[in-house]
Amino acid sequence: MSNTSDQLHLQLIDNVTSCLRHTDLPALQASMREKGFAVIRGLFRDKLLRQLQDECAKLIDRHGVERNLHMKETAYTPRRMVNVKRDRINEHGLLIPRIYDDPMVRRLFEIITGERFTTCPYTPEEYIINCLYRADDTHGWHWDDYKYGVVFAVETPPAESGGYVQVVPNTSWNKDKPSVEAALFSGPAYAFRLEPGDAYILRTDTGMHRVSPIQEGTSRVVVNMVWAAMDELDKPTSHETMETLFA
């Protein structure tokens, strides 16, 4: 590894190790089992968080693409956002690809879920930057193609300004006949918000979820990552929503 890569690896080890020392790991594991998600507070901090914020700002400014569409496969729920594709991040970024490849980061989420992860077999899903910055920008109700999604919070709105996560666990996604209402009425729903430096992992194939619309004058920037569980490698998976989003 280069000196820069070595330094990033050491910073990641320091942040993850510090987080583990101050985190109730059994509580995260229980939340994952019972609610289908776990929120890790203060995973990235100080210098590493500032580096992530700077990298995202530059990538959004130079390579961000506006999206405003309704997704048929999720009952025409809206996507109003700016995002940066994986290939642009891989070409022009440094820290985000390093986070994705770092075994210490991946191991943290393996411990929480009790799964073993590997690189996502569908490359565009590996990592994406999503930014909500206009009034009513939102990532509407949806499911994802792989079992788990990991989100790192880079910038977040105040509590009263939207941009929080809503989840309905233990639902199913019928791509041919999706029903958000059926999922919403099927069981308990949860909501949580993030501070910069927080992260969460969500069971995204059975947990219908969305990011609530934000208010004017605020912004929400996150990095989404997907690793595949080992039992997904031989499973046929289609990618209609990703292909529509990045068309």
Q: For residues 236 and 47, which has the higher predicted lDDT (pLDDT)?
A: 47
- In the beta sheet, which residues pair with residue 70? 78
What is the predicted pLDDT for the residue at 237?
A: 81
Catalogue the long-range contacts made by 235-242 (C-beta closer than 8 Å, 24 or more residues apart): 237/121, 237/122, 237/145, 237/146, 238/145, 238/175, 239/122, 239/124, 239/125, 239/145, 240/73, 240/175, 241/71, 241/73, 241/74, 241/142, 241/145, 242/122, 242/124, 242/125, 242/145
pTM of the model: 0.95
- Average pLDDT over all residues of the chain: 94
Chain segment 69-107, per-residue pLDDT in tens: 999 999 999 999 999 999 999 999 999 999 999 999 999
**Which of 55-69, 162-176, 226-240 shows the lowest mean pLDDT across its residues?**
226-240
Q: What is the pLDDT of residue 2?
A: 61
- Residue 67 scores a pLDDT above 90: yes
> Confidence band (pLDDT; 50, 70, 90) for 136?
very high
Which element (helix H / strand E) includes 7?
helix 3-21
Q: Calculate the alpha carbon distances from 57 to 43, 64, 112, 129, 245 in Å.
A: 20, 10, 30, 10, 21
**For 4, left (φ over 0), alpha (ψ -120 to 50), or beta?**
alpha
Overall average pLDDT of the 159-163 stretch: 95
Which residue do the tokens 């979820």 mark? Answer: 209
Say if residue 1's pLDDT is above 60. no
158-170: average pLDDT: 96
**Domain assignments of the chain as residue spans, ordered by start:** 3-245
Residue 244 is predicted with a pLDDT of 80
- Residues 159-176 have a mean pLDDT of 94
Pick among 3.90.1150.10, 2.60.130.10, 3.80.10.10, 2.60.120.620: CATH of 3-245: 2.60.120.620
Say whether pLDDT at 200 is over 90.
yes
